[in-house]
Every structure is written in C-alpha cells, then in structure tokens.
C-alpha cells in the first residue's frame, strides 16, 4: 500500500532537532536519538557484524569488544571543558545519590563515538560541581598518602603568607625594583620547595585519576532530562 505525500508534513533536519532537544532540556530523548542514529547511520559496520556473526561468533564478539575500547579511548582526545561556563559552577550541586550515582539502570555502554561524546559534553556541564568535589577528594587522599607533598604545600602557602605580612609591614611595593626582586625570589623558593617535596607528582596523580573517572562516568551515565531532575529535587 502506497501513501500519498502530505503537503502539511514538516521535515526537520537532525542537527536542528538535536539543538531543540538540548535547549529544551530533553537530554534523555537526545541520548536515545543519538543512539538510534548511530545504529542506522552505519550500514557498513552493521553488515560486517552480521556477516561475522554468521561465520564466527567469537570473531564478532572480538570486533564488538575492541570497537567499544576504541570508542572509550577516543574520548581522551576530546576536550570536555570546552563548553563549561562559570554558571555551571555557581548553581546547586546535583544530588550524589539520586542524580550523580543513581541506580544501575542509569548506566549503559555508549553505542558509538557520537553518543559517547554527547554524553561527556552534557554530563560534564551538569555534574561540574560533583567532579570538582571529586578532584578535591582525590587530591586530599593523594596528599595523605604523600606526607612530604603535604608539607611542601603547607610550606609554600606559609611562605607567601609571610611574604604578604612583610610587604604590609615594610612596604616593599613602594619600591618597584625591590618588589620585583622579592617576588622573583619567593617564586624561585616556592618552585624549589614544590619540586623537592614532590607536590607536582601529587597534583598530576590527582588530576589523572579524577580526569579518568570523570570521562568514564560521563560516558556511561545516561542523559536525563533537566525537567525530570528538577521535579525530583
């Protein structure tokens, strides 16, 4: 049976529809739409998986496993902070139990790189304050495991506090040459203290762990509509 074309029907391009879903807060529908478009937009990979499944199931599972691995590895080439603004850190922190962690059904393996990148960009914006809190927690745990780094950080802070006290007492900033000499000296001493006591290693370790956790959580966490989250709160 052939249906006649309806002149009143509207055809909305996918980018326009995705932008409307994002602006309207229907992120869950946007997540599902990106998943379905990923599945239907790649007939070559579908035919390859179908043919390998009929010939060898093990080979098909092997290809599927490594495709997911490549998808996750491609996320580390993405800049998840490109769309962040100051408003993302000034709002209320989402609930850790109901929103950030949620239940097991709130997670799924992304069907492709497009859906994974979409989830990372949107989830990083939504849970920016949660990820910042996790970084502080990881950094504190790293300093607890590295007491010398903790001593170095406290010493550098104490050094600049003493520098500010001396400047307020003797007015170094009124003498430009002396001010520049004292600032450069304090910077050199701070750099030596931080390097010798491995503060940079503690910082790099906390950044690496928190960044990995952020990317993996944002990629596997399903998108939820902002309107539903507001009703839950």
Q: What is the pLDDT of residues 81-114, one digit of tens each?
A: 888 888 888 888 899 998 899 888 889 888 888 8
Q: In the prediction, which pLDDT does 110 show? A: 84
- Domain residue ranges of the chain, discontinuous segments joined by +: 57-131+217-228
- DSSP secondary structure string for all residues of the chain: --PPP-TT-----HHHHHHHHHHHT-HHHHHHHHHHHHHHT-HHHHHHHHHHHHH-HHHHHHHHHHHHHHHHHHGGGS-TTTT--THHHHSPPPPIIIIII--GGGB---SSHHHHHHHHHHHHHHTHHHHHHHHHHHHHHHHHH-HHHHHHHHHHHHHHHHHHHHHHHH-GGGSHHHHHHHHHHHHHHHHHHHHHTTHHHHHHHHHHHHHHHHHHHHHHBPP--HHHHHHH-
pTM value?
0.72
Q: In the prediction, which pLDDT does 77 show? A: 84
Low-confidence ranges of the chain (pLDDT < 70): 1-62, 226-233
Q: In the prediction, which pLDDT does 27 show? A: 61
The phi and psi torsions of 107 (rounded to 5 degrees) equal -125, 145
């Amino acid at each position: 049976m052939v249906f006649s074309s309806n002149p009143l029907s509207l055809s909305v391009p996918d980018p326009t529809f995705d932008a409307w879903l994002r602006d309207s807060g229907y992120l869950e529908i946007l997540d599902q739409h990106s998943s379905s478009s990923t599945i239907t937009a790649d007939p070559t990979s579908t035919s390859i998986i179908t043919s390998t499944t009929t010939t060898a199931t093990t080979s098909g599972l092997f290809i599927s496993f490594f495709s997911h691995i490549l998808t996750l590895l491609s996320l580390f080439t993405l800049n998840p902070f490109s769309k962040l603004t100051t408003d993302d850190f000034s709002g209320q922190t989402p609930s850790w139990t109901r929103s950030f962690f949620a239940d097991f059904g709130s997670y799924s393996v992304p069907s492709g790189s497009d859906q994974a990148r979409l989830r990372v960009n949107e989830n990083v914006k939504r849970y920016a304050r949660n990820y910042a809190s996790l970084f502080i927690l990881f950094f504190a745990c790293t300093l607890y495991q590295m007491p010398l780094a903790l001593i170095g950080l406290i010493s550098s802070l104490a050094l600049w506090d003493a520098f500010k006290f001396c400047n307020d007492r003797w007015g170094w900033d009124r003498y430009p040459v002396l001010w520049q000499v004292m600032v450069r000296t304090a910077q050199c001493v701070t750099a030596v203290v931080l390097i010798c006591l491995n503060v940079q290693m503690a910082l790099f370790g906390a950044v690496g762990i928190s960044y990995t956790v952020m990317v993996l959580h944002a990629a596997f966490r399903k998108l939820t509509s902002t309107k539903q989250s507001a009703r839950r709160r």
